[in-house]
Amino acid sequence: MTTPRSAQLFTRYPGNPILSPHDWPYTVNAVFNPGATLGPDGETLLLVRVEDRSGISHLTLARSDDGVTNWKIDPRPTLMPQTSRFEELWGIEDPRIVRFGDEYLIAHTAVSSAGPLVALLSTRDFRDFERLSTVSPPENKDASLFPVKFDGRYAIIHRPVFYGYRAEAHIWISFSPDLRHWGDHKILLESRHSVHWDQEKIGIGPPPLWTNEGWLIMFHGVKGTAAGALYRAGLAVLDPHEPTRVLARADEWVLGPEAEYERTGDVPGVVFPCGWIRDDDDTVRLYYGAADTCVGLATARVDDLLEFVFSHPA
């Protein structure tokens, strides 16, 4: 059998997983779903979701000069949930980081006792964080800001869930003048009610990536099976100036749980990307949670990803 093109786009780092619970300087259960960005001097920064042994998640910074090896991990949690706040009672999870000048804006899931919701943080140094706002009431998660404004407004991609005749979990886009008041809500991508890999739920992965062809977005798709959920990642491209317009959505997933560390762990069968970094040679380094246990790295050429989306429409 020939390997499908969709399976050849990403190359896993042979030393995966790059970060595991046993690398941590303090006792944890799992380390996964990191947001990724570059520091002022070009270091790779991963803000990693860390699940402690009570089950609650906090965020901890890991930094590396080459983004692959020699990770320096903060000796203590970098950002703990404020359990006095209703929104963060049961933890903070799955950060996606964008940069505006020297300010980093982080969308993440805050887990309230009424369900998960999307909240925003700001930091300049990954030491001091300001809690900016919550984007909507529960249930909502899987959110990322765009790294630019559109006509003076911030834009966010998020994934509210509605329980109507059946649970509806689609990707939405909303706009705000000030990161506090959100409106002009629109559905951007729908989960496919079918047998497809993205039939049950979909949600944004890393922040949208600017390219000459438009905004490249990666999203995860969930397929329910008799053996549990499978989490895979696929691609779409949005109009460069009007991000509510989807130019293309690829039919097949481009990264799915195949390696042993993606198939074995706390939640088997999960790849969950929350961060990517584009290098000067047009390679993208994708950082993803594997099996809700550890962190994997895979690389791809941005041109190949774009060519694939436009030539394999859903």
Residues 133-152 that bind ligand BMA (CB under 6 A): none
Q: Which lies closer to ligand BMA via its Cβ, residue 197 or residue 231? A: 231
**Taking contact as CB under 6 A, which single stretch among the options 120-128, 159-167, 168-176, 264-272 is the one that binds ligand BMA?**
264-272
**CA atoms of 122 and 101, how far apart (whole Å):** 12
Site size toward ligand BMA (CB under 6 A) is 9
* Buried b / exposed e along 65-80 (16+ C-beta atoms within 10 A): eebeeebebbeebbbb
CB 42, min distance to ligand BMA, A: 28
Q: Which lies closer to ligand BMA via its Cβ, residue 24 or residue 231? A: 231
Question: Looking at the DSSP assignment, which residues form a beta bridge with residue 129?
Answer: 123
CB 289, min distance to ligand BMA, A: 5
Q: Which lies closer to ligand BMA via its Cβ, residue 123 or residue 140? A: 140
**Taking contact as CB under 6 A, which single stretch among the options 69-77, 164-172, 207-215, 265-273 is the one that binds ligand BMA?**
265-273
Position among 94, 198, 200, 252 found at the interface with ligand BMA (CB under 6 A): 94
Binding-site string for ligand BMA from residue 281 to residue 310, where x marks contact by CB under 6 A and - marks none:
--------x--x------------------
Position among 267, 268, 278, 301 found at the interface with ligand BMA (CB under 6 A): 267
Q: 3 exposed, middle or buried (CB, 10 Å; 0-12, 13-18, 19+)? A: exposed
Binding-site string for ligand BMA from residue 48 to residue 87, where x marks contact by CB under 6 A and - marks none:
----------------------------------------
CB 34, min distance to ligand BMA, A: 11
CB 194, min distance to ligand BMA, A: 20
252 touches ligand BMA by CB under 6 A: no
Q: Which lies closer to ligand BMA via its Cβ, residue 92 or residue 270? A: 270
Phi, psi of 260 (to 5 degrees): -60, -40
**CA atoms of 175 and 104, how far apart (whole Å):** 18
CB 113, min distance to ligand BMA, A: 16
Q: Please give the order of strands across the beta sheet that includes 283-290.
A: 11-12, 294-301, 283-290, 271-278
**Taking contact as CB under 6 A, which single stretch among the options 96-104, 192-200, 248-256, 267-275 is the one that binds ligand BMA?**
267-275
200 touches ligand BMA by CB under 6 A: no
231 touches ligand BMA by CB under 6 A: yes
Q: Residues in the site for ligand BMA, rule: CB under 6 A?
A: 33, 93-94, 231, 267, 270, 272, 289, 292
